[in-house]
Structure 1
Amino acid sequence: MAYNMAGWIGCLTAAAGFTLGAGFTRMLLPPFCRMLEKSGCVRPNYRGERISTGSGAVLILAFLLTVCLLVLFEKWSGFPALADSEDSEPMLVLAFGMGFLGILDDTVGSREASGLKGHVMKWIRHGELTTGLLKAVGGTVLSFLIVMDGVDESFRWSIGNLLSIVVDGCVIALLANWINLLDVRPGRALKGAMGKLILLLFAVPSELTVFLLAIFGTMVAYLPADIRARTMMGDAGSNFLGAMIGYLVVRSFDLPGTVTVLTALLAVHLYTEKHSLTRVIERTGWLNWLDRLGRKDVRMERDDLGLEETLQEQAR
C-alpha cells in the first residue's frame, strides 16, 4: 500500500504527529528535569548558573513514542500511518543512536579537551578516549551506516553513486554537530533547527511530512523551558535534532543540492574554529534580533561573552 500524504488522511496523520510530539514533550519534560537535578546532571550555562543538562533526551523519547504510537495505531485500526514508510526504521535507529552518544557525553563527558583536534590529541598523546571523540566517530559511522542502509538492490557502484553516499553521510554528521555548536545560548539551537525544518517543509517528500511535524512539535513544546534558561538540551537534544534534519535533507535533495549544503556546512565549521559565532550574530542586526527574541536577558556583558566562547569551544 503506497503511503500518500496528499489527501485528508495525510493531513490528519501529520497533525497527529505534531500534536503527539508536543504532548509527549510537555508531559515528560518537568519530571525529567527534576530527575536530572536530583542525579547531579547539572552544568553552568552561559551566565554561570547551574541548571539541568541533557534534558534534550526528552525530544528523542517524545519522537520515539510518537512514531511507535502511530505505527501501532495503523496496525490496530488499518488507518494509514507510518508502518509502510521506508523511513520509519532508519529514522528511529538514527534518533536512538545519536541520542545515546549525546547522553553519554552529557552525563560522563569531560570538558578538559575541546574541538575535534583536542580530542584526537588526547587520544594520541595520552591514550585517553574522550566522549567527545567517541561521539564524533560514532556519529559519523552511524550516519554512513544509515545512508548505506538506504541503498537498494538496483544500486550500481560508480563514482557518482559513491560520491552521493559520502556527501549524504557527511551532511548528516555535520548537521548534528552544527546544531550542537548553536546550543550555547537559550533558544538559539532550537530557533536554528526550527528555521531549517520550516524551509524543509516545502522540499521534503510527502511521506516525510509527518516525521518533520512530529519533530517540530517536540521543539515547540520544549522551547519555553529552553529559552527561559530553565534547562539545557545538551548534546542529547542537539545531536538528535541535527541528525534528523540531516536525514530529511539527504532525502529531499539530489546530489547537487546536498553538495551545496555540505559546502555551506564545511564553511561554517571552518569559520567557527577560529571565530566566535556569537560575535558574528551580535554584529548582524537581524540575526541578533532573532537570537534575543523571547529571552529576558537582552543585554550581554563582556564576561558572559567570554564564558559563551568557552562553551562554544567545548561544544565542538
Structure 2
Amino acid sequence: MPARSIASLSLSFGLVSIPVKLYTATESSSDVRFNLLAPDGSRVKQQYVSEATGAVVERSNMKKGYEFEKDKFVVFTADELKALEDAASHVVEILAFIPEKAVNPVYYDKAYYIAPDKRGGKPYCLLQQALAESGRCALAKWAFKGKTRIVQVRPEADGLVFQQLLFADEVRSLEELHIEHIQVSDAELKLALQIIDQGAEDNYDPTAYEDDEKKRILAAIDEKIEGKQVVIHEPDEATAGGAQVIDLMEALRASLKGGAKAKPASTPKRKSAEEPVAEIAAAPKTRKPAARAPKTPAQEPAKVRARK
C-alpha cells in the first residue's frame, strides 16, 4: 500500500516556494503490543478518580491546571489553552544553511520524508542537488499541531529528509555526569585503533540486523496459540552479567589477536576513532557471532499476522 501523506506544506527556499507533502519515516507499530485483561479474560478500562472523593471523573468534566505550588493550581479553559498555541502554518521557512554534520544526532527527534507535490518537482530536485553539492543542510521553522519546531532538511540519494530537532532545554548535557577523563598511553591507543580498523565497515546496513526479542515474542505467541508450554531459556553463563575486567593492555592485545571473534556479539561496531576508548572486558574464548538477518525481510509467524 502506498504511503499516505500527513500534511501538505510549502518549503520556502529563498524566493522559491516548493510545494511538498509530508510523510512519516518510521513505523510506530513495530512493537508487539499486549492488552491488559481482567481475571475473566475481558479487557479492562482505564478510569480517572478524584484524589479527594475517590469518585470516577468523566473526561468531559475534567479541567487542565498548572501546579505552581504543592496542591495549588491555576486552571485554564480549553479556549485559553487554544489561544496559547502557535497557529498552524503550511509554510516551512528556511532559516539557515549549515554543514550537514553540524547537528549532533542527540538532538534528532522524529524523522519525516518530504516529496514534491504538484508542480514542485523541479525546485525540489534543485534544492536536493544543491544541498548535496554544498555538503550543507537547511534549518527551518515549522508550526505543527500547536507547537513551533526546528527541523533539519538534509539530502539523501532518493530525496529529502525532514528531521525534527529537539530544543536545547530538551537535551541533557554530558557534563552533568562528571565523567573522569583518564590519560591513556600511546601504546594503548595504538592497539585500540588497530582493533577499530580490524572491524571497520564503510556503511551501516540496517537490513543486516534484526530484532531478536520481537522474534522470540512472536514465536512464543504462536506456541501459546497452539496450546504449547512456553519454555524460558536461561542466559548463558558466559553472557550473564558483566565479564571480569582485566589489564587494559592485555585486553587490547587479546582483542586484536582474536580479531572479530573477540568482540561481544551484542555490541555494535564503532565507526569512528573519535569515540572514547572504554575499559575492555575479557571475552570468553568462544563467542557466537552476532545474529544477522537474511537479505530479504523476515516474515512474521503466520498465526500472528492473521490476527493483526
Fold shared per TM-score above 0.5: no
* Structure with more helix by fraction: 1
* Structure with more strand by fraction: 2
- State the TM-score bracket (shorter-chain normalisation): under 0.3
TM-score calculated relative to the size of structure 1: 0.23
TM-score calculated relative to the size of structure 2: 0.23
Which one has more relative contact order, counting CA pairs under 8 Å at least 6 apart? 1
Larger radius of gyration: 2
